[in-house]
Structure 1
């Protein structure tokens, strides 16, 4: 079974006959290419043309993160499954206002439902989240009435603001207080965890899209513009609460991530290499976790992201109507 390859150390990635060889200060490591689904690079990495050709031939996306652990771009191999017809269908759904707003609302409804599931889960465990839940449930009613993406994004932003303000009640660690959401740059450790986790999920969704006929450049909630990829951002919205946020709650409540796992600069916080390794392990374990799905039986969260892509494909092909994944715990 293929799985992601994370490269934290600086070094060189080369082709060695029909394998990849990673050379770092820790030594040389031979990597069977048929064991790799995607590569996520956090260190300084030298890659030559021969290695990139080999990676392309084996359909392996490579995602790059900067010194602070935040996503900066991808080497996206030539699409093996790309279809001109599905690209046209995606474009039609983007250009038709009614079709686009339907999909955008669906992504937001999925995201908000899964936020509420988190809050309800922790409320059952004694957290005082009643007010937050009621405020979000009231705001959700407005979604069906909006007629523009801008209005939808404003409602989603207010809901997410309420949701994030509840993190302090769930975590209850003074050193990880939320205050308010900051992204570029994240100003405190909790914001750093959210940004890092979201970056991982964006690339995971992008890799899963690559295994389908969909084109990741055409998004619906997130504006299709000069940004290279947007459909992965749309899909990630649905899964942030059930994957990223649950990973953060688990790591902090169990004391696996502590302040010693962060570096601080002026108004800037980010995970150090040890912290990233801890987060990545928990994140990958979460993706492998299986749940009982009413239609699919036992299925992993990673597979659910791929299923979300297939549901969109059927929607574009008019073989079904897209509905987002809704957590049922």
Structure 2
């Protein structure tokens, strides 16, 4: 089984014969078995020799880069072999047709509403999902659909102070996050976004044509659409667990005048929990077999592709546990 490699310290990745190594600033050398790597995530300044990049391209291994705040910066992805002109045309048609675009945008928000409701139900917190679903049904424009998403997500985040035992959430802040909870949310969301990008590149979909989020230059907006469905499962549940079980505490953050960021040890703890979540398996109801959480993301991409091609209507993944 392949796994993700997280580089959480400065260093260099180089190739010696047919073996790849990561050497950090202390001189510690760690082999990287490329045939077993799914993707590489860099959270510090890491350089790659050209021979390493060529080898990673051969194995279709992407490299994701993140900034100081844990924000996604960019991805090196090998020359694509999965692109399909027919799918790109159909994907664009679904964007240009307002009725088709609205349908997909609503389904992404619907998935968010239902998964958020599942999360809050675990803590016996009220969440009027039916009201939001009715509002969503009546929305006729993308801006209206996004307004529904913003309102329902604000209520969701407003319940966080009832869930956490050791930290206060207060309100959502970004770039930079102003407290521990916001730091974890931003870090987790960026991580999920990059993971979804990896999965999109393994399908015929193009990541820059989206439906809920407006396609713009220099971002993979389709990954934002799909990530919204899975944030409650991949990010929020990890945060709930890490905080309420006191796995992460105030010693795992660096605080400045207007910012609060995970330190190296905090990032390591979150990345370990995230990787464990990706590798965890569940019995898929439709496929009737065990699949990993990471595989769920790929399956969601396949579902979207089938919808775009007119094979099967898309509906979002909704957790049942």
TM above 0.5: yes
Answer whether contact 1:111 1:241 (CA < 8 A) is retained: yes
The answer to whether the Cα contact below 8 Å between 1:56 and 1:77 also exists between their aligned partners in 2 is yes
Aligned residue number for residue 28 of structure 1 = 29
Query: Is 1:159 the counterpart of 2:119 in the alignment?
Result: no
Report if the CA contact (8 A) 1:59-1:80 is conserved.
no
Query: How far apart are the structure 2 equivalents of 1:79 and 1:190?
Result: 37
In the TM superposition, what is the alpha-carbon distance from 1:26 to its structure 2 partner? Answer: 4.3
**Counterpart mapping for 1:73-92 below 5 A:** 73-92=74-93
Q: Is 2:132 the counterpart of 1:139? A: yes
Q: Point out where structure 1 has 5 or more consecutive residues left out of the alignment.
A: 124-128
Name the structure 2 match of 1:271: 262
Residue ranges of structure 2 left out of the alignment (5+ in a row): none
**Secondary structure at the counterpart of residue 138 of structure 1:** helix
Q: What is the root-mean-square deviation in Å for CA atoms of aligned residues?
A: 1.2
> In structure 1, the residue corresponding to 2:176 is in which secondary structure?
coil
Residue 281 of structure 2: which of 274, 290, 294 is its match?
290
Residue in 1 that maps onto 2:98: 97
For 2:123, what is the secondary structure of its paired residue? helix
Offset of residue 72 of structure 1 = 1.1
Moved more, 51-60 or 305-314: 51-60
What does residue 219 of structure 1 align with?
Answer: 210
Q: Structure 2-normalised TM-score? A: 0.96
Name the SS of the counterpart of 1:255 in structure 2. coil
What residue in structure 2 maps to residue 11 of structure 1? Answer: 11
Give distance in 1, aligned partners of 2:132 and 2:84: 39
Q: What residue number does 1:327 align with?
A: 319
Aligned residue in 2 for 1:113 = 114
Residue of 299, 308, 317 corresponding to 2:309: 317
Which position in structure 1 is the counterpart of 2:185?
Answer: 194
Partner Cα separation in structure 1 for residue 163 and residue 242 of structure 2:
12
* In the alignment, structure 1 residue 177 sits paired with structure 2 residue 177: no
**TM-score under structure 1 normalisation?**
0.94
